[in-house]
Amino acid sequence: VYNIRPPLPAVGGNEGVAEVVEAGAQVSDLQKGDWVLPAAPGFGTWRTLAVAPAASFIRVRSDIPAEYAATVSVNPCTAYRMLRDFVALKPGDVIMQNGSNSAVGVAVIQLARRMRVRTINIIRDRPDLSYVLSRLTSWGADLVFTEDEIRGPKAREALAKLPKPVLGLNCVGGTSAAEVARLLADGAQLITYGGMSRKPVTVPTGTLIFNDIVVRGFWMSRWIATHSRAERSAMLDDLLEMIHNGELEANIETVPFARFSDALLRSKQGYRTHKVVLKFE
Ligand SMILES: NC(=O)c1ccc[n+]([C@@H]2O[C@H](COP(=O)([O-])OP(=O)(O)OC[C@H]3O[C@@H](n4cnc5c(N)ncnc54)[C@H](OP(=O)(O)O)[C@@H]3O)[C@@H](O)[C@H]2O)c1
């Protein structure tokens, strides 16, 4: 279902970080030892070596953990854009999201906290719920409910104490999107960026008619294609600075390429606690 499908055979891998081992004689802006990210989606990062024009890469700082550099360009950037490009958020505003323990979701929580924007978060019920709750709360989540709890009295009481959310972020689709939509403020925007349930986005009719909800989508690859390299570098620098300062964390597990099949199996499992990152050497 993904919108980018390279002609086969192809090297997999949309994102990652690489170290420059050699620069061509006419390359002036990259040198041996620099860390680089692919400039365009679909580079094919599951490899030990690549030869490409210097313009295919964006140099990034190398004083942060490699697994953070490897995973900054899609999920944290998506969170960054969605908090800036749709609603002019101000301190004290409230936003709401589902899939809140996803890599995008945890970045949303931490970036919102820096903006002094409060977050209402929905996650799936799961065996290690208390661990996930404590992680999200430590990153600044204001309220966290399971998909069942969000309909109940506990959530109703807590939500009544907050202004209604002006922005909703939908990673899941199906009825989970409906739960976000029905709790939004009049005129709020509901942004769909993922479809993890593989179900169509359901939006209650009344939220469109009576509450004037605006339903839109976001795709990082489209943003990259329609914005300058300088704009992208500025965003990456901002996020990497936060990572360097310990203001933006993620749960990441690095698996060596020798355990490739183990990594694939783990990444397919639901209720993961960590993002699985492959290390090629
Ligand atoms: N539009 C864009 O530009 C853009 C950018 C980045 C990511 N995305 C999309 O955003 C989504 C999240 O990406 P990610 O890398 O942040 O994800 P991730 O870290 O792998 O997390 C996946 C999330 O989806 C939840 N989930 C999985 N299956 C589900 C189901 N059947 N019903 C409800 N929730 C389910 C997981 O919950 P559990 O922990 O309970 O399993 C978890 O919260 C993906 O669909 C991805 O393609 C889109």
Rounded to the nearest angstrom, the distance between the alpha carbon of 29 and the centre of ligand 1 is: 36
pLDDT digits (tens, 9 = 90+) for 48-98: 999 999 999 999 999 999 999 999 999 999 999 999 999 999 999 999 999
**Annotated catalytic residue 193:** no
The C-alpha atoms of residue 51 and residue 30 are separated, in whole angstroms, by 13
Please tell me the predicted confidence (pLDDT) of residue 6.
87
37-43 LR contacts (CB < 8 Å, sep 24+): 37/69, 37/72, 37/73, 37/236, 38/14, 38/73, 39/229, 40/224, 41/4, 41/14, 41/220, 41/221, 41/224, 42/4, 42/6, 42/14, 43/13, 43/14, 43/16
| CA-proximal residue: ligand 1, atom 9 (nearest) | 194
Residue 182, amino acid: R
pLDDT > 90: percent of the chain: 94
Q: Is 79 in the pocket of ligand 1 (CB under 6 A)?
A: no
Q: Which atom of ligand 1 is nearest to the CA of 267?
A: 20
Residue 211 has pLDDT above 90, yes or no: yes
Check if 119 has its Cβ closer than 6 Å to any atom of ligand 1: no
Residue 75 near ligand 1, beta carbon < 6 Å = yes
pLDDT in tens, 241-274: 999 999 999 999 999 999 999 999 988 888 999 9
Q: pTM of the entire structure?
A: 0.97
Query: What pLDDT is recorded for position 5?
Result: 87
200 upstream amide cis, omega within 30 of 0: no
Q: Provide CB contacts within 8 A for 65, sequence distance 6+.
A: none
Residue range 90-137, pLDDT digits in tens: 999 999 999 999 999 999 999 999 999 999 999 999 999 999 999 999
Q: Quote the pLDDT of residue 212.
A: 98
- Could you tell me how far CA 108 lies from the centroid of its own chain? 7
Comparing CA positions, the residue from 153, 191, 173 lying closest to residue 99 is 173
Rounded Cα distance, 86 and 97, in Å: 14
Element (H, E) at 235: helix 229-244
> Residue type at 195?
G
What pLDDT, on the 0 to 100 scale, is given for residue 62? 98
220 lines ligand 1 (CB under 6 A): yes
What's the mean per-residue pLDDT of the chain?
Answer: 96
Interval 225-246: pLDDT, tens: 999 999 999 999 999 999 999 9
Read off the pLDDT of each residue in 129-154 and give the average, rounded to a whole number.
Answer: 97
Q: How confident is the model at residue 4 (pLDDT cuts 50, 70, 90)?
A: confident
Mutate to test the pocket of ligand 1, among 82, 172, 196, 277 (most ligand atoms within 8 A of CB): 196
Burial class (CB in 10 A: 0-12, 13-18, 19+), 111: buried
Please tell me the distance from the alpha carbon of residue 204 to that of residue 213, in angstroms, as a whole number. Answer: 10
Helix (H) or strand (E) holding 214: strand 214-217
